[in-house]
Structure 1
Amino acid sequence: MLKTRSYLAEVQLKPTAPVEPPLFPFTLPAIRSIERLVLHPNVTFLVGENGSGKSTLLEAIAVGMGFNAEGGSRNFHFATRASHSDLHEHLRYVRGIERPRDGFFLRAESFYNVSTEIERLDEDPAGGPPIINSFGGKSLHNQSHGESFLTLFMERFGGQGFYLLDEPEAALSPQRQLALLSRLHDLVGQRCQFVIATHSPILMAYPNATIYAFGEQGIREIAYEDTEHYRVTRDFLANPARMLRVLMGEE
């Protein structure tokens, strides 16, 4: 198994955190139950239903580690619409001995805003080499959503990086999710650490990763084959005709 030293070893909820409802995000059982979340030195997946808190926690980790709330590298400082919670203020970040040389926070829902910010910064003639050169030299807006995501993974990400990805599969076909898996493995071999919130049973199949399931009972570590994503996908593909009959009330 490939190993790296963790850039972020664990996240802890501060004892002074206001865990009682009704203030968001402590209305979410998973957030209230964090206490101590140990991150895998290579890949950690956060999985669960929409609204379970996985993206909220990922966002808090990103902000707490110095990234822009809407995404980008630590050098991005823009806000289209401030909507992130103050959870990052209630977390303690246990860092490793080494510091990453690179980092990026991808939010699928706001990557368009990041692409726009890159173009805005590159309009400044005194700003040095164009930022878009780090993304393959081609405007991300002139690519499809899926192409721009893959360009990010292939061109922008490099070795010794700390990368936070929120639903990276949102714009990717199954084939390109497989390409992302391959790229993920290459980067892990270059001493990168990933924390990924996802619904994709393809991505979360990455070997030896830690998977945390978010739900009404809090957060628990879970095996890949025990995730709802894997089981539902397996059952559907095993007999899609029967599953459709059940869904349509014909059985």
Structure 2
Amino acid sequence: MIVERAYAHVASYEEREWPWSVPCVRELLAEGLRFTAPVTFLVGENGSGKSTLVEALAEGFGLDSWGGSHDWRYASHRAKSVLGQRIRFDPAPRGRRMISSWSARKGFFLRAETALDALEREGFAPGSVSHGEGFLAAFRGKFLQPGLYVMDEPEAALSFSSCLELVGHLDQLVAAGGQVICATHSPLLTALPGADIVEVGEHGMRRVAWHDLALVDHWRRYLADPQSYLRHVLG
């Protein structure tokens, strides 16, 4: 583990204005977010605030908001978000030096939409392969050392079998001393043994077991009987 808790202090804010209008952001301000496992998945519907949260966590750690590593800037002209500027971390024992020393900090922010461009600009060229294969090549070649790895929907470019391979890479990354915070819609990724799952929504944030996740329940019921869902959206 690199960090045990993320928090942010804001003297005053208008609850109707973004990002303070997002329930999970208000809970972060009130209580912080504790990390109890090397891999934390943030799940929730579109608009629930999970991407806002992971982007702010990445920025607070010093990672570029458009994707990239700590010692490199993809969009350096872009200022940190109003929330990212305020994020602070309580380090785990193994992460104290990394948090206290800017030069010792290691990590990567992976956004699905900018991942390959960011990796290529950092000198990692996956070559003439598909988007998904390039994604996995990045894990094989770059996600190797202790650090904080923040990800926003990495499953977007991956097939079922590639998602399974990604689960294996995450397990190896953790074994090497890495910590992962990942926003996802994937019931496959969130099934990683030992991972902590935080469901984000109107309630704010709450920890949920994999088999109790709404997304797992919906996929289970959809695969059992697609028509029970499709009849509501097809003319």
When normalised by structure 2's length, the TM-score is 0.87
Aligned to 1:45: 41
Aligned to 1:108: 112
**Closer, same or farther in 2 for the Cα pair 1:116/1:160, shift >3 Å?**
closer
Q: Distance in 1 between matches of 2:23 and 2:205?
A: 8
Q: Distance in 1 between matches of 2:178 and 2:81?
A: 27
Aligned to 1:126: none
**Closer, same or farther in 2 for the Cα pair 1:18/1:143, shift >3 Å?**
farther
Q: Which amino acid aligns with 1:146?
A: G
Q: How far did residue 63 of structure 1 move?
A: 0.9
Q: How far did residue 30 of structure 1 move?
A: 1.4
Identity %: 39
SS in 2 for 1:142: coil
Q: Which amino acid aligns with 1:49?
A: E
Q: Distance in 2 between matches of 1:112 and 1:208?
A: 29
Correspondence for 2:223 among 223, 226, 237? 237
Residue 220 of structure 1 pairs with residue 215 of structure 2: no
Q: Distance in 2 between matches of 1:213 and 1:23?
A: 22
| Contact map agreement 2:59 2:80 (CA 8 A) in 1 | no
Q: How far did residue 199 of structure 1 move?
A: 0.4
Q: CA RMSD in A?
A: 2.1
- 5+ residue gaps, structure 2: 99-103
**Closer, same or farther in 2 for the Cα pair 1:112/1:152, shift >3 Å?**
closer
SS in 2 for 1:109: coil
**Closer, same or farther in 2 for the Cα pair 1:218/1:19, shift >3 Å?**
farther
Aligned to 2:2: 7
Q: Residue deviations 1:7-64, cap 9 Å, x none? A: 01111231x3544323321111111112221113311001111111111111111111
Q: Distance in 1 between matches of 2:77 and 2:156?
A: 21
Q: Which amino acid aligns with 2:174?
A: V
Correspondence for 1:60 among 56, 60, 69? 56
Correspondence for 1:92 among 88, 91, 94? 88
Residue 187 of structure 1 pairs with residue 173 of structure 2: yes
**Closer, same or farther in 2 for the Cα pair 1:71/1:241, shift >3 Å?**
same
Residue 173 of structure 1 pairs with residue 167 of structure 2: no
**Closer, same or farther in 2 for the Cα pair 1:82/1:69, shift >3 Å?**
same
Correspondence for 2:17 among 16, 20, 23? 23
SS in 1 for 2:68: coil
Q: Which amino acid aligns with 2:19?
A: P
| Contact map agreement 2:116 2:135 (CA 8 A) in 1 | no
| Contact map agreement 1:17 1:90 (CA 8 A) in 2 | no
Aligned to 1:117: 121
Q: Residue deviations 1:41-92, cap 9 Å, x none? A: 3110011111111111111111111111111111211318738621022332
Aligned to 1:82: 78
Is 159-168 or 96-105 further displaced after alignment? 96-105
Q: Distance in 1 between matches of 2:12 and 2:112?
A: 29
SS in 2 for 1:98: helix
| Contact map agreement 2:68 2:74 (CA 8 A) in 1 | no
Q: Distance in 2 between matches of 1:242 and 1:28?
A: 31
Residue 71 of structure 1 pairs with residue 57 of structure 2: no
**Closer, same or farther in 2 for the Cα pair 1:83/1:226, shift >3 Å?**
farther
Q: Distance in 1 between matches of 2:64 and 2:143?
A: 17
Q: Distance in 1 between matches of 2:133 and 2:185?
A: 20
**Closer, same or farther in 2 for the Cα pair 1:182/1:17, shift >3 Å?**
farther
Q: Distance in 1 between matches of 2:81 and 2:22?
A: 13
- 5+ residue gaps, structure 1: 1-5, 119-130, 133-138
